[in-house]
Structure 1
Amino acid sequence: MSEIKKFQVTFDCAEPERLARFWCEVLGYVVPPPSEGFASWDDYWRSQLPEQRDSWFACIDPSGVGPRLYFQRVPEGKAAKNRVHLDVRVGTGLVGRERLAALEAECARLVALGAVHVRTLLADGINESTIPMQDIEGNEFCID
């Protein structure tokens, strides 16, 4: 039997800390403590070479169950649709109007954080409702 591997999800982005803090709010994740020997992340970044400052940031699931999210600064902007995206599972087990209400409430909360509501896909008899969105840097994700 295969061993289960831990993994992280990596985002290329322009502003790693800002995007990490957005996803902390979306998922209930937290920023881990700074590296050993540093009282704060600001202290850590000040110790780095200028070209390395603010080059990455991360957030973690406080329960230890979900994957670590890692955000790395890249020089180029987003150019095309994501090949992989996150589905934020807020409607699990819900159907019909109850599911749609939960999705719409979460959509409103995330829009207030800076996300963009792309559209609402209503249940069609085969698939349940879902709401495609974009985070604060334009990365696609869905409320499912």
Structure 2
Amino acid sequence: MASIRQVQITFDCAEPVRVARFWAEVLGYVAPPPEGFATWDDFDRTWPPEQQGPAYAVCADPSGVGPRLFFQRVPEGKVVKNRVHLDVRVGTGLVGAERLAALEAECARLLPLGAVRGQLLTADEENESCLNMQDVEGNEFCLD
């Protein structure tokens, strides 16, 4: 029998701290600065000016249950649709108008954080409704 392993989900991005703060807010995670630093700005100031702008950031579930999210700066921008995405489960167990209301309420909370609303996929014979969205750097995710 295989042992259970923890999973870290890694995002390539241009601004790791910005994206980490977005996802921390979405998921109720925390995005603490590296150990030994009070803030990300304090950490950033330790680098030469030409290397400032943290190369990575992390956010994690404060309860330790959910996967850690790691954000790494890469030089290239996003050019195609994600092959993997996160489903933010806000409508679990809800159906019909109640589920749509939960999706819309969460969408309304995330838009001021920089999320972009995508297409609403309404329920059919096989699937419940979900709402496609994008984070602050255009990474797709679903409100499910």
Distance 1:121 1:31, change over 3 A: same
Q: CA deviation at 1:34?
A: 2.7
2:5 corresponds to which letter in structure 1? K
**How many Å apart are 1:32 and its aligned residue?**
2.7
Q: 1:104 to 1:63 in 2, by over 3 A?
A: same
Alignment match, 1:107: 107
**What residue ranges of structure 2 are gaps of 5+ in the alignment?**
none
Cα distance in 1 for partners of 2:43, 2:33 equals 11
1:119-130 matches, cutoff 5 A: 119-130=119-130
CA contact (8 A) 2:29 2:61 kept: yes
**Equivalent residues of 2:15, 2:53 under 8 A apart:** no
- Matching of residues 1-144 of structure 1 within 5 Å: 1-36=1-36, 38-49=37-48, 50-51=50-51, 53-144=53-144
Matches of 1:78 and 1:125, distance apart in 2: 34
SS of the residue 2:51 aligns to: helix
Contact map agreement 2:29 2:59 (CA 8 A) in 1: yes
Alpha-carbon distance in 2 for matches of 1:39, 1:138: 29
Q: SS where residue 121 of structure 2 aligns?
A: coil
Taking the aligned partners of 1:22 and 1:42, their CA distance within structure 2 comes to 17
Measure, in 2, the Cα distance between the counterparts of 1:40 and 1:115. Answer: 24
Q: Partners in 1 of 2:111 and 2:32 — Cα distance?
A: 25
Whether the aligned pair in 1 keeps the contact of 2:85 and 2:140 (CA below 8 Å) is: yes
Range with greater deviation from structure 2 (99-108 or 25-34): 25-34
SS of match in other structure, 1:125? coil
Total equivalences in the alignment = 143
Question: Structure 1's 140 and 97: CA in aligned 2 closer, same or farther, altered over 3 A?
Answer: same
Q: Which runs of 5+ in 1 are unaligned?
A: none
Q: TM-score, normalised by structure 2?
A: 0.92
Using the alignment, how far apart are the partners of 1:139 and 1:73 within structure 2?
14
SS in 2 for 1:119: strand
Q: Distance in 1 between matches of 2:100 and 2:53?
A: 42
